[in-house]
A and B are shown apart, each in its own frame.
Chain A
């Protein structure tokens, strides 16, 4: 049995603030924002993290697992330091997102959904990121990069390497 996870003091304060946004009898509404918090805290949402969220809400862990497994944004397994998500929906496909994805894949030596051996990068495809006029686009962690070319992608990656 894995040791139970607990939020840090600071995260617990944020969790309390999130819970205060919903009427007390409907604490379960906070499950998605709390899962985001858990993911920020631990990088991915493990069963132990789900149990931690469940304790805060006061429901059974399986109820939280039901939600966490539905949404694509919650990582169920550890991911790299930088998650790269290339939008591959029609408007970006028309503007050449395929080349961007292949370039990333070749450069990093990983395929869709994989993480580099050094644990720095995870490569993903994303559904429409609602920046269709600026395609192709790439979401790097929390930041959106637009008007991509392969040269621009190299610059972005170099920037991450330094940072």
Chain B
């Protein structure tokens, strides 16, 4: 059994306000900023982040070091910390924002210093009213203590950081959507490639968009050193601590911190205390609603981005949604699909029209009016959307849940259509074995229904 970690989840001393900068500094806080700005060169810092092997925690698992290296040699550059946490099943950013605002600010200061950035924003989703207030107060405190503003710690480095609130749109979590939103436009994502935000971002300048957990982890890396950080987890897969959020039908939902070598089974049954009411597991979504579902037979996987990729799923945001035997997979998918239909930004026709169309079909199946051809039709619509949209959101929350829940839990959907009512099949009858759905052609593009070494490496 992997041992739980307490690096990002270390609690501030009991009774202290997490936003209180004095208490944070008394516990060694802002030591990483001091260390970075006074003892390490800018290149040294970038080298350190590269050496740590950290993968971004926003969901895609993209190497943070590589993102930084892609930064075009142009100034001014900007920083955006992405706190638009809206992926259903994810709540790790909320925990960090509530309990570690200053650690996030530290990470932003270090990142800005390393990359020569003098202006940054933390984009917080609009529904986080209390968090926005707390973060604004924390930024003001940091400025009062000389960690923001002009000539920080006599290093000659200036930095301004501000909160920018969102207003309830999931698409603003996509990095180019976030940039458009920050520019004051409708947040339609930009086509990439050719130009990534690190080359052309906010106001046409190089911009680094990192998740707030990544920002907090950068503080940790500077604090403990890349060498020690790398020892957590595995270098081949995912280094550093990971926050896993357990929710749904587990006895003890909450945030748990482990390295990525922990298995999904350990998380559900040991950390989470097992399934509520002693029920049996039916399916589990391992990384936010977009991550393809895993059946009870697939939960012995470790939780690294690479290991989950090999299974045809993804590490995503680490939000684990557990569903027990009482769950109707048709209901679950209808819910996921309603979310995607509501949140499609409307820029690209395949997503704007296709995702609500799939939602209509699923609603009809749910209501016992499904038609024989509906399941094939759903797969066909998935194919038409996949890879035909500007951003990945058409396929991530739009297609992947439909594609994988439908294919893996095919018998339950068939039963609903045949019996013309909502049916919840017993667990072992409800899903197929991998060799039973191999005949269903994979959607063109990078859809990973089958194990593929090249895909898993990416």
> Which A residues lie at the B interface, using CB under 8 A?
21, 23, 26, 28-33, 35-36, 57, 66-67, 70-74, 88-91, 93-95, 126-135, 139, 142-144
Contact = CB atoms under 8 A, between A and B. Distances in A.
B158 interface: no
Interface string B247-284: 11100011100000000000000000000000000000
B183 A28 contact: yes
Most buried by A among B127, B181, B255: B127
B332 A33 contact: no
Contacts of B332: 90, 93-94
B339 A133 contact: no
B254 A72 contact: no
B169 interface: yes
B331 A130 contact: no
A144 B331 CA distance: 26
B321 A29 contact: no
Contacts of A133: 91, 245-247, 253-255
Given A70-B187, A127-B342, A130-B86, A91 B247 contact: yes
Nearest to A33: B165
Interface in B176-205: 181-187, 203
Nearest to B126: A73
Interface in B334-359: 335-336, 339, 342-343, 345
A74 B183 CA distance: 18
Contact of A71 (B94, B167, B182): B167
13 contacts: A21-B162, A31-B184, A67-B185, A70-B169, A70-B345, A71-B166, A93-B332, A94-B248, A94-B332, A126-B127, A130-B85, A130-B93, A139-B127
A133 B280 CA distance: 20
A129 B93 CA distance: 11
Contacts of B187: 70
Contacts of B285: 90
A32 B185 CA distance: 9
Given A23-B203, A71-B167, A130-B90, 19 more contacts: A26-B203, A29-B164, A29-B183, A57-B184, A70-B187, A73-B167, A74-B167, A90-B289, A90-B321, A90-B339, A91-B88, A127-B342, A128-B89, A130-B91, A133-B253, A133-B255, A142-B130, A143-B129, A144-B130
Interface in B277-312: 285, 289
B367 interface: no
B413 interface: no
Contacts of B336: 90
Nearest to B161: A21
A106 to B, nearest CB: 22
Contact of B88 (A32, A95, A127): A127
